[in-house]
Amino acid sequence: MHENIEIFLNRCRACAAFQENMEKMVELFCEKNVSEMFTNCTSLEISSHDYLPSRICFQCYENLTNLNKFRQGCLNSDRFLREQV
């Protein structure tokens, strides 16, 4: 693999930070819910075939899971409040 391509693929898909050790990253397409969370929280359509990095760093993963929890809470609250009207 060409060095520039390797460096590109070792970047976080969310923050673009370089990670020397790819084992310290979370694969977006390994589990369905990670890629779904990413799309739901960012409105970005991602694909395992788009030739862009397919991993995110642990910090972005933590941010993503927290944002997803917040989003789900807001959706649940909205649903509850609308049922009360």
**60 marked as binding residue:** yes
What's phi and psi for 80, nearest 5 deg? -60, -50
Convert 28-65 to b/e letters by CB count within 10 Å (16 or more is b): beeeeebbebbebbeeeebeeeeeebbbbbeebbeebe
**74 marked as binding residue:** no
Q: Residues marked as binding for Zn(2+)?
A: 12, 15, 57, 60
Q: Residues marked as binding?
A: 12, 15, 57, 60
